[in-house]
Amino acid sequence: MRTYDFTPLYRSAVGFDRLANLLETAARTSQDGGYPPYNIETTGENAYRIEIAVAGFSPDELNIEVKENLLTVTGRKTANDDAEAQKTYLHRGLAERDFERRFQLADYVVVSEANLVNGLLSISLKRELPEALKPRRIEIGAGQPLIEGKAQTKVEDKAA
């Protein structure tokens, strides 16, 4: 595995330390050799879905947590020692092992729902921009006309 040195980026870029940390983390982790497999898809302009193959896991054995823009999905198999002791496998291809998957989320991306159907854990995400960051239209007023660089003042007729 090739390692990258992001030190020059830290020295020359101000305010991009979070981006450099993301790149460094992505370069360091290979994420458990691909277990469990997953897909990331876009379902709209500001909507995404992560699907993780978790065959053999029940909803109570899965945990989804978001903390500081980091989505962590963990699976912990409950021990069935009595049932497992009575089985004799000729081939055991189903992993059913504990796992932890991490996904770095962009700012303002939130988890909207999660469902487990037919062994696929589907996590829906959407970007929710705060009102202050959404584009808004600014009205242009007519203002008052200027005469020789000075604001024009109204002269009232007091001869009434």
Model pLDDT for residues 31-63, shown as the tens digit of each residue: 456 889 999 999 999 999 999 999 889 999 999
Distances (CA, A) of 6 to 14, 21, 53, 102: 13, 9, 33, 21
- Domain boundaries defined on the chain: 1-30, 32-131
Quote the tokens at residue 130. 């705060």
pLDDT surpassing 90 at residue 20: no
Per-residue pLDDT, 85: 66
CATH, range 32-131:
2.60.40.790
SS (H, E, C) 86-130: HCCCCCCCCCCCCEEEEEECCCCEEEEEEEEECCEEEEEEEECCC
What's the chain's average pLDDT? 81
Assessment of whether the complete model's pTM goes beyond 0.95:
no
